[in-house]
Amino acid sequence: MLPPNQRQVITLRDIEGWSAAEVCNVLDISKSCCTGRARRYGRRWKITWWSETVPLNQKRMTCKEFVGLVTEYLEGALPPDERERFEAHLAGCDRCPNYLDQMRQTITLVGRLSEDDLDPAASSELLRIFRNWKQR
């Protein structure tokens, strides 16, 4: 079991989606202390605790998670429970509605590109970027 001070940092940063600055301010600790506490136990604890404790439909979505699901949302491909979480986040977030609107506008302005519309060099470069994107 995690010590309470580490549990607080991990819960606020990684589960609730707070920024490091917000966590530091609320807990009255330095940024390096906040980062150290969050790293000490890492991702394994968060995933285990969160998945065992909270049903999916009750988990608050983070902005980062929201951004990762925008395409599936716009294509109508999200499962019902994920769509519910997505729309709950959308209703309660100040920034993500703007991001979603920007994505919709981009799709409208650019339209649909086929692979044949791209220069082969540009196509190769885009594929390379997308393959490496998840590794960051």
pLDDT at 135 over 50: yes
Structure tokens at 86: 């997505």
Cα 134 from Cα 76, distance rounded (Å): 23
Residue whose C-alpha is closest to residue 87's, from 106, 108, 72, 102 = 72
pLDDT tens column, 75-107: 899 898 889 889 988 888 889 999 999 999 888
Give the model's pLDDT for residue 1. 57
Residues 77 and 114 in one domain: yes
Residues 67 and 41 in one domain: no
Q: Which domain range does residue 18 map to?
A: 4-54
pLDDT tens column, 30-75: 777 666 656 655 544 444 444 444 444 456 788 888 999 998 999 8
Question: Is 64 within 8 Å of 17 (Cβ atoms)?
Answer: yes
Residues 90 and 107 in one domain: yes
Average pLDDT, integer, range 115-127: 82
Give the model's pLDDT for residue 44. 46
Give the model's pLDDT for residue 134. 62
Question: Residue 126's domain is classified under what CATH number?
Answer: 1.10.10
Other CB atoms within 10 Å distance of the CB of residue 65: 15
Residue whose C-alpha is closest to residue 9's, from 51, 1, 22 = 22
The residue to which tokens 């589960």 are assigned: 15
